[in-house]
Chains A and B, each alone.
Chain A
Amino acid sequence: SAVISQKPSRDICQRGTSLTIQCQVDSQVTMMFWYRQQPGQSLTLIATANQGSEATYESGFVIDKFPISRPNLTFSTLTVSNMSPEDSSIYLCSVATTGEQYFGPGTRLTVT
């Protein structure tokens, strides 16, 4: 298993600003993922972030809006840029190890 922490746990931001979410894992992992979860909805994959390479984005998500860094095997950041109220959501970091996927506690973002 893996223990994942995220910062911040929640934030309220003004539209037009940017927020960077940090994800820290207690062990080295190759694959990290960023998800978005709208209230009452399932999880939507934003991108896959592997250390040493560019993140791979899913359809509907672009690097300019959601830039991702993956500087080492235990850390990643997701930035939500030029925010609008539609970006209000829970953002989840996760890692995959030996066929299983583990999630962080999430960052609850509200954009006003």
Chain B
Amino acid sequence: GQQLNQSPQSMFIQEGEDVSMNCTSSSIFNTWLWYKQDPGEGPVLLIALYKAGELTSNGRLTAQFGITRKDSFLNISASIPSDVGIYFCAGQYNFNKFYFGSGTKLNVKP
């Protein structure tokens, strides 16, 4: 199956700092998705990207679909304690196949 490499695996940052995480793939995708998962909950969709080069924001979150269609990044600006959680990237190249990264665990110190 497809391999998605997500980095970093974990981050410890101070409240107010910006955060950046990324995913790379050996194959191209048609869609990139970014999710956040809180403890004891299912993943929640944050941002969906559909075109190479697309840059999309959702509040303090910004994500981009890489030009090569093999990568994507997610930035969080001015982090706050409620940003704590695990962030997953996912890539899709046909309608019924989604591949997930291994997750980035974000810790924010107040």
A associates with B: yes
**Total number of A-B contacts with CB less than 8 angstroms?**
50
Is B42 positioned at the interface, with any CB of A under 8 Å from its CB? yes
Q: How far is the CA of A33 from the CA of B33 in the complex (A)?
A: 16
- B-chain residues with CB within 8 Å of residue A45 when the two chains form the complex: 98
Q: Is the interface of A mostly helix, strand, loop or mixed?
A: strand
Query: Of B13-21, B64-72, B88-96, which stretch is located at the interface?
Result: B88-96
Is A105 positioned at the interface, with any CB of B under 8 Å from its CB? yes
The A32-51 residues at the B interface (CB cut-off 8 A) are: 33, 41-43, 45, 48
Q: Which residue of A lies closest to B4 (CB)?
A: A42
| 8 Å CB contact of A103 from B44, B96, B102 | B44
A residues sitting closer than 8 Å to B (CB atoms) are: 1, 4, 31, 33, 41-43, 45, 48, 92, 94, 96, 99-106, 108
